[in-house]
Structure 1
């Protein structure tokens, strides 16, 4: 998985065409898997149905499983990284920060994981339910994305010549944020697609209380 930091919200014709190709391949993969089964749906058939070459298919998705799930390379928002590393910076929307470091870690993790895409389509849910190995694929992507986020933040801390304890704190916060989101996901499977502040707050509060009990 490549380090990918999103530099800004600019969207042009090229971006729209790329998004459209992602969508066509994903929909073709879903349709063929529902018709033929996951094992029988081939990359060649998916590419043909989507109107692209095999080479183009692999430029967009590394495997048919990822195409079925609609999972992409994660994008880490540069402004969110800066806001996390420099809490004194005002957020881009001009509102008051008003959130502690754990909240910021959770929000940064939500944004990054959400950029993977989410198998929220009912058709995809049906495929995953029938092919439980796809759960493992989603988990692998999310774990790798969290590790990518940790590495990007650690590198930025090193570039700023900040203390090793700062790097350890950043890593611990991001890992804890991931655990909180997994906990919240158990109650709300769409937490990444439609983050519910109340559900996230509840999960954070639960973890704070649990940490107090073992402190």
Structure 2
């Protein structure tokens, strides 16, 4: 019974989150980002202003359908317990953290169109993307702590995160909607990067 209540509560939270986000995105398209107020978004979504801020700290977050990133427990276990492919595991971990910024039902194409139409939203999205990298940084540093001195562990961490971020951006640029599925798109992008590195030492 406890699990059923928990899953119902989570489903209700997801429905409310989606209603607020969809309404915020729709009103921003219809009226403009500046003209779509929190009060109007909340009323049209059928929630109070207080409920709005329980789900989204800013109007921009609601419009984008993003939240602060987190490290999913399963992704962390996979990273720590995986094989010797540290690059691939880092890409997978960073991708999971980036994906935690959104919830199901939030179309990436719509988000990209909103950012194109309202460039000021790009800054907010990049703040969250940087926060995702900051979450992965100490995990990767812990893994590389015993590595040889060259390159220095902090340089190795920075380089690995830069490469992992590039793979993820490349995957999204090739297929913004991730039509083949996120895991497949990321894996395909990772293979392209590996192939380029192998053939161009």
* Residue number in structure 1 paired with 2:101: 116
**Shift, 1:71, TM fit:** 0.6
* Residue number in structure 1 paired with 2:170: 183
Structure 2 vs 1, CA of residues 20 and 67 (structure 1 numbering), >3 Å: closer, same or farther?
same
Match of 2:119 among 132, 143, 153: 132
Superposed, 1:80-159 pairs within 5 Å as 80-87=75-82, 100-117=85-102, 120=107, 123-154=110-141, 157=142
Contact 1:25–1:57, Cα closer than 8 Å, also in 2: yes
Structure 1 residue ranges without an equivalent (≥5) = 1-9, 89-98
Q: Which structure's residues are more often helix, by fraction? A: 2
TM-score by length of 1: 0.71
- Deviations along 1:142-201, whole A, 9 cap, x unmatched? 1221212223554xx39xxx537696455543332112211222222234993253x534
* Structure 2 CA distance for aligned equivalents of residues 114 and 172 of structure 1: 21
* Residue number in structure 1 paired with 2:193: 207
* Structure 2 CA distance for aligned equivalents of residues 126 and 72 of structure 1: 18
Find the residue that maps to 1:76 and give its secondary structure.
coil
**Shift, 1:62, TM fit:** 1.5
TM-score by length of 2: 0.76
Structure 2 vs 1, CA of residues 201 and 14 (structure 1 numbering), >3 Å: closer, same or farther?
closer
How many residue pairs match? The answer is 191
- Deviations along 1:104-142, whole A, 9 cap, x unmatched? 111112122112127526554443332122233222211
Contact 1:71–1:116, Cα closer than 8 Å, also in 2: yes
Structure 2 vs 1, CA of residues 79 and 170 (structure 1 numbering), >3 Å: closer, same or farther?
farther
* Structure 2 CA distance for aligned equivalents of residues 163 and 56 of structure 1: 47
Contact 2:79–2:90, Cα closer than 8 Å, also in 1: yes
Structure 2 residue ranges without an equivalent (≥5) = none
- Deviations along 1:65-99, whole A, 9 cap, x unmatched? 110111123231213213312335xxxxxxxxxx7
Contact 1:72–1:117, Cα closer than 8 Å, also in 2: yes
Is the counterpart of residue 33 in structure 1 residue 28 in structure 2? yes
* Residue number in structure 2 paired with 1:5: none
* Structure 2 CA distance for aligned equivalents of residues 170 and 129 of structure 1: 32
